[in-house]
Chain A
Amino acid sequence: MFETKSGVFLIAGLFFFAIAFLGNALVPMMMYRDLPELTAEQLVNPHVMEHFRDLSERYPESFEEHFVLGPTEENCAEALRLGRSVYVGEACWHCHSQFVRPVGNETVRWGPVAETWEYQNELQRPVLFGTRRVGPDLSREAARRSNDWHAAHFYRPVDTSPGSVMPEYPWLFDGAVYRPNKRGLALITYMQFLGTQLPTYPYYERWESDLDGLHPGVGIPKERWEQMQRAYRGAEEASTSASIEEDDNTDSPATEGDEKKEDAS
């Protein structure tokens, strides 16, 4: 058996492969078969629509040119699909992961640990877990940054993030940073979708310790939000001598807060 053709072709070739396939591929498939797979239309939610509308207001000319009917849910779904295909085609997924692990302090940095249901949708076909992080995880990216931050960043990453090695993507724009083209708008929409599915959206670094019973962002009282921001500033100034302006590439909570405010305004 060990040196015969049938042994090699049938047992090693077919049978062992089949065992591995049964155990490693069919088992998870059966386990998750009851989780519905959502379409892009079903994924469109109020959070991502908020950003999509914001895009239409910030970049009215580009937006009207490429999404004729305005910020509708259908257009948003289309943008998500296109944004994802740009994400795949540019190999963003080779520099950014899309899952948060339960180890390595990742929940502090990005948000809750990834769960299977988050991936049961059309935009994760094939799934975009990723295996390398040159840049940060993006699975909870929505609302971390404002739309125009993303535009500026895609146009020339070092402008927003000095020292960044992320490539420039000028072809996502019609000649200037304030004119993202269809692919640019779609990619930004996709960025602002990642993480909106989760009940505790949005997230930024050290999101958990800042929660304090409430979650910041959508739905919390304005006074409370400003109070939290003052608290961050105070803590920041006490702990480091660096001023907030100089420090805007360090992902500190204060900076995040600023952007959040910009975004909301």
Chain B
Amino acid sequence: MTQATAQPLPTQSRPLVCETLVTLYFVMALVFFTVALTAGFVMALQLVYHNPLQGIELFSPGRWRMVHTNAIAYGFLSNAFLGVLHWSIPRLTMKPVLSVALSWFIFVAWQGIVLATAIGILYGQAQAVEWGETPVWIDPVAQLGLLLVCFNFGAPIVAMRGPMYVSLWYFGAAFVWTFLNYAMGNFLPQYFIPGTGAGAIMGLFIHDLVGLWVTPIGWGMMYYFVPILLKRPIWSHGLSLVGFWGLAFFYPLTGVHHFLYTPIPMFLQYGAVISTIAVEFVVTTVVINFFGTIWGVARKNLRENIPIRWFYTGMVLYFVTCFQCAFQTTLTFQKIIHFSDWVVGHAHLVMLGVFGFWVIGVMVYLFPRLLGTEWWSRSLLEWQFWLMVSGKILMFITLTIGGLVEGFAWYNLTPWIETVTMAVPFWAFRAFTGVLIYVGNLLFLINIVMTWLKREPKQPSLQAA
């Protein structure tokens, strides 16, 4: 890989990649990650009767819960993804993005939109669309922002010649999907379609946000970074094809599985269940492909190469969530586990355990390159890894078991309040696992600051960070 030399804002000869932007996106991602973890922790404390901010309107736990999920989706993952896209798309196409000015504008606008979303939610203006609680007055701005993102990154893809690498299939399709999906989920149920029909659309929106934005960008990222880090090609091109086209076909069809047993027509619910199970087969081919890639050099790399360890941990957890999903989507499982903490555990495993971990892995790989120096402390990186991974897995386990306990208690017609107090021990343990993750994140932040402080001051452009 040729490293583009980072210079202050380019004038005549544009460097391929604007590295300052990549750094800034990562920094903002971590800022919002910290906000999201804090918000999640407030909610966790509420559930164990120890919310220190009880009774303060702006800290209403419900509002913070929405800040938590939105900050993760739009603040943490999306910011980090935009950074990765700035790093990888010019390298994959050998062309810079459409315009540097536009890139900066998008960066500022994106932070503005996420901040406005958080503030709007805290002032009680949320929109009743799960994962799209962005107040209605921000939606059109966000839609426009997505259009600019499509143009900015679409330009080099459209301009390039020759075959596209796997990552670009995922990235390219994700731009189209996300633009359409955002419009569908945020405007149709609000302005055009009432009731049950809108429920189906919101199911699609929830799932497409994860399945057609987070997932394809995440896998595109893996297809890009894993071969570079392992210094060997992806195991099977055929499986890459199966993985992409399987995802593209089946993923959009699964959304209704979020609302099984609602008045949404039953044949649509069956369809969603079947395509969800189909997705799991596709996912298995992708995971096999990546394990084929590391086969033979796994032990050495997993021990020494921390980014690779993050990536493959995420992949194992990805397989776990998807395997779990094939069961939990069936009507039999739904009967018990829907509405319970089982689903919460599932969602946490996907968003942080898979995509969050991948993004952190990429940051571990790229920060030294962006800052032009080695990590300040490798042992902190190790501590961070083990704290976050063990925290996440324990959280998943406790929520899954707690969910089963709740589900069966509900089924048994246990008085409601008893089903709540029954869940409190699980929630208490969950709060503890949250602390592990929080501490892991703090170690990462400390490590980044120290690395930044010790870097050689030869790159003036980075002072902006």
Interface residues of A (CB under 8 A from B): 2-5, 8-9, 11-14, 16-17, 19-21, 23-25, 27-29, 31-32, 35, 37, 86, 88-95, 97, 99, 101-105, 108-109, 114-116, 118-122, 124-129, 131-136, 161-165, 167-171, 205-206, 249-252
A31 contacts which chain B residues (CB < 8 A)? 197, 265
Task: Looking at the assembled complex, report how far the CB atom of B178 sits from the nearest CB atom of chain A, in whole angstroms.
Answer: 10
Residues of B123-140 contacting chain A, CB below 8 A: 124-130
Residue among B197, B255, B256, B261 making CB contact with A101, cutoff 8 Å: B261
Name the one of B255, B413, B418 contacting A108, with C-beta atoms under 8 angstroms.
B413
Contact B253 A2 (CB under 8 A): no
Which A residues are in CB contact (< 8 Å) with B335?
101, 103-104
In the complex the two chains form, is B184's CB within 8 Å of A25's CB?
yes
Q: Are A17 and B47 in contact (CB under 8 A)?
A: no
Verify B195–A127 contact, CB threshold 8 A.
yes
Q: Mark B163-185, 1 if CB is under 8 A from A, else 0.
A: 11000110011011100110010
Report whether B340 and A24 are in contact in the complex, using a CB–CB cutoff of 8 Å: no
Q: Shortest CB–CB separation between residue B168 and chain A, in angstroms?
A: 8
- Asked if B252 is at the interface (CB within 8 A of a chain A CB), the reply is yes
Chain A: minimal CB distance from B332 (Å): 9
Is chain B's binding surface mostly helix, strand, loop or mixed?
helix
Interface string of B340-363 (1 = CB under 8 A from A): 100110000000000000000000
- Whether A167 contacts B176 in the complex (CB less than 8 A), given A19-B252, A27-B265, A105-B413, comes out as no
Q: Report B351-393 CB contacts with A as 1/0, cut-off 8 Å.
A: 0000000000000000000000000000000000000000000
Contact between A25 and B197 (Cβ–Cβ < 8 Å)?
A: yes
Chain B residues within an 8 Å CB radius of A12: 169, 173, 244-245, 248-249
Min CB distance B460 to A, Å, is 38
Can you identify 24 A-B contacts, CB atoms within 8 angstroms?
Answer: A8-B164, A8-B173, A9-B173, A13-B172, A21-B180, A24-B204, A35-B195, A88-B126, A89-B124, A89-B126, A90-B124, A94-B65, A99-B262, A101-B335, A104-B411, A105-B412, A116-B263, A119-B196, A127-B196, A131-B258, A163-B421, A165-B46, A167-B60, A251-B415
Q: For A165, what are the chain B residues with a Cβ–Cβ distance below 8 Å? A: 46-49, 420, 424, 427
Number of interchain pairs (Cβ within 8 Å): 238
- Are A134 and B253 touching (Cβ within 8 A)? no
B64 — nearest CB in chain A belongs to which residue? A91
A35 to B263, CA, bound (A): 14
The reply to whether A134 and B415 contact each other, CB–CB distance below 8 Å, is: no
CB distance from A149 to the nearest CB of B (A): 14
Q: Is the CB of B226 closer than 8 A to any CB of chain A?
A: no
Query: In the complex, A26 Cα to B296 Cα: how many Å?
Result: 49
CA A190 – CA B271 in complex, angstroms? 35
Least distance between B363 CB and chain A CB atoms (Å):
27
Using an 8 Å CB-CB cutoff, how does the interface string of B190-213 with A read, 1 for contact, 0 for none? 100111111111111000000010
Task: Kindly list chain A residues whose C-beta atoms are within 8 Å of the C-beta of B202.
Answer: 126-127
Question: Bound state CA distance, A252 and B262, in angstroms?
Answer: 27
Q: Which 4 A-B pairs have the closest CB atoms?
A: A91-B62, A13-B176, A119-B195, A89-B124
5 new A-B pairs (CB below 8 Å) besides A31-B197, A249-B417? A86-B124, A90-B124, A103-B334, A126-B129, A171-B57
Neighbouring A residues of B57 by C-beta, 8 Å: 171
Task: Flag if A120 contacts B253 (CB, 8 Å).
Answer: no
Nearest CB of B to A84, in Å = 9
Complex partner residue of B189 from A92, A116, A125, A134, CB under 8 angstroms: A125
Q: Is B451 an interface residue (CB 8 A)?
A: no
Smallest Cβ distance from A137 to chain B, in angstroms? 9
Max chain A Cβ within 10 angstroms of own Cβ: one of B66, B201, B339: B339
A95 touches B417 (CB 8 A): no
**Closest Cβ of chain A: how far from B321's Cβ, in Å?**
17
Kindly supply a per-residue 1/0 record for chain B positions 295-320, scoring 1 wherever the CB is within 8 Å of any chain A CB and 0 otherwise: 00000000000000000000000000
Q: Whose C-beta in chain A lies nearest to the C-beta of B252?
A: A20
Chain B residues contacting A25 (CB-CB under 8 Å) are 184, 188, 197, 200-201, 204
- Tell me if B272 is interfacial: C-beta within 8 Å of chain A: yes
Asked if B17 lies at the interface with its beta carbon under 8 angstroms from chain A, I say: no
Contact string against A for B residues 47-61, beta-carbon threshold 8 Å, 1 for contact and 0 otherwise: 111010011010011
A163 to B419, CA, bound (A): 10
Rounded to whole angstroms, the CA-CA distance of A250 and B413 in the bound complex is 11
